[in-house]
Structure 1
Amino acid sequence: MARVIAIANQKGGVGKTTTAVNLAASMAATRRKVLLIDLDPQGNATMGSGVDKYNVENTIYNLLVDEKKVEDVIVRDTDGKYDLMAANGDVTAAEIKLMEVFSRETRLRRALEPVRDQYDFIFIDCPPSLNLLTVNAMAAADSILVPMQCEYYALEGLTALMDTIEQLVDVVNPDLSIEGILRTMYDPRNRLANDVSEQLKNHFGNKVYRTVIPRNVRLAEAPSFGAPVMYYDKSSTGSKAYLALAGEVIRRTEQDSAQAS
């Protein structure tokens, strides 16, 4: 049964899509079976996976609104060696359409049930806002991975996200938890970044991943080539960091499974 991890932060520009694409590719490189779901109408995770969002036959819109079979929506051939549910501008309309639907918050969770046992990990790239699509992701997820920059405003955004998660736990998903907090675009020479990093570790303890994603030119360039960074420049610090993160996520998942049994 797949572990479903939503990658979410209400603040934009924190590396959500970069993390979704590169963590999915790194997991797939460890021979895990991975599905990446692009829930953002911008379709950046789709394009970053080497899939043309303008020419894809079915998107997450067709799954959520038209109730297409999940197998018909999955794109099997991506440059990241993982399966993908694509998104494009059509997904913007999904939120409006879902307002008219019964049990709209759990539409994604129910749609994924037939394929959960086919994957080891399912990652959901959420939009940078709290809307019905994000609520669907959190209702479907076992846990939330929060990418964030180590800056003052990011801390404020994290507090707001934690409040949101608490409310959603009460309403749509009592089993939802924080998978981990990932420090992105990290520059150890920046004093504020180091201060915020220490605050995070003091407040959240081992929920903060040991792995840190550095500011890295290759990481920023890779999406324009439609490929995860490990297939663009495997030797880059960004590529190595996401491989390390994949290892850390796997270890935590195995520890949780061992404790549960």
Structure 2
Amino acid sequence: VIAFVNQKGGVGKTTNTVNLAAIAGQALGTRDDQSQVLVVSTDPQASAVWWSDRVDEDQLPFDFHQCDDRPEDLARLKQLEQYQYVFVDTPGNIEDEKILSATLDSTDEVVVPVPPEAMAFTPAKRTIEKVLDPRGIPYRVLITD
């Protein structure tokens, strides 16, 4: 389970979640006519829904689930054995502690997208220092543009 997390909006969380899931889904193909990749959106703005609605369902190389109000669904992410990869898109703030906590409890690794802009560095640093480091969650910083 890989989550894209940054308290700042507009840094590329959704875009990179969907694109990485599409690449993984195409590379892995299907098993027993089922996708091996799942995208879960916890963003109430439902930006990933907008992306997935633009593609015919039979052409989408990953399964999709919107989950912005049911933390109990997120607690089961690691138990979804039919998926090799689960990518989680998170909202542009870290205020909904229940959803964020449930996401991070089920996450193996976090990607922190950061555009090369001065105003993006402080929120990314705050996300790492206040959210990820205390939990000991491995993370990678992805410079976006």
What band does the TM-score fall into relative to the shorter chain?
Answer: 0.7 to 0.9
SS of structure 2 residue aligned to 1:22: helix
Cα deviation for residue 79 of structure 1 reads 4.1
* Deviation readout 1:51-80 (Å, 9 max, x if unpaired): 79xxxxxxxxxxxxxxxxxxxxxxxx4643
SS of structure 2 residue aligned to 1:36: strand
SS of structure 1 residue aligned to 2:99: helix
Aligned partner of 1:182 in structure 2 is: 142
* Deviation readout 1:136-176 (Å, 9 max, x if unpaired): 21111001011110111211112101112123x1xxxx5x2
Q: Quick one: which amino acid aligns to residue 15 of structure 2?
A: T
The CA distance in 1 between the partners of 2:78 and 2:144, in whole Å, is: 32
SS of structure 1 residue aligned to 2:77: helix
Higher alpha-carbon Rg: 1
Aligned partner of 2:25 in structure 1 is: 28
Q: Quick one: which amino acid aligns to residue 133 of structure 2?
A: E
* Deviation readout 1:96-150 (Å, 9 max, x if unpaired): xx7xxxxx6xx345322441x2111100000111122222211110010111101
Which one has a larger percent helix, Structure 1 or Structure 2? Answer: 1
Where in structure 2 are the equivalents of 1:123-162 lying within 5 Å? 123-130=87-94, 131=96, 132-162=98-128
Q: CA RMSD in A?
A: 2.2
Aligned partner of 1:16 in structure 2 is: 13
Query: Which structure carries more relative contact order (alpha carbon 8 Å, separation 6+)?
Result: 2
Q: Quick one: which amino acid aligns to residue 125 of structure 1?
A: D
Cα deviation for residue 23 of structure 1 reads 0.9
The CA distance in 2 between the partners of 1:110 and 1:48, in whole Å, is: 25
Q: TM (normalized to structure 2)?
A: 0.82
Count of paired positions: 135
SS of structure 1 residue aligned to 2:93: coil
Q: Is residue 48 of structure 2 the alignment partner of residue 48 of structure 1?
A: no
SS of structure 2 residue aligned to 1:12: coil
User: Quick one: structure 1 residues 78 and 149, their matched pair in 2 at CA, closer, same or farther if it must change by over 3 Å?
Assistant: farther
The CA distance in 1 between the partners of 2:48 and 2:87, in whole Å, is: 11
Contiguous gaps of at least 5 residues in structure 1: 53-76, 99-103, 186-261
Cα deviation for residue 184 of structure 1 reads 1.0
Where in structure 2 are the equivalents of 1:150-229 lying within 5 Å? 150-163=116-129, 164-167=131-134, 169=135, 174=136, 176-178=137-139, 180-185=140-145
Where in structure 2 are the equivalents of 1:63-142 lying within 5 Å? 77=57, 79-86=59-66, 91=68, 94=69, 107-115=72-80, 117-130=81-94, 131=96, 132-142=98-108
Q: TM (normalized to structure 1)?
A: 0.48
Aligned partner of 2:33 in structure 1 is: none
Q: Quick one: which amino acid aligns to residue 110 of structure 1?
A: A
Runs of 4+, deviation exceeding 4 Å? none
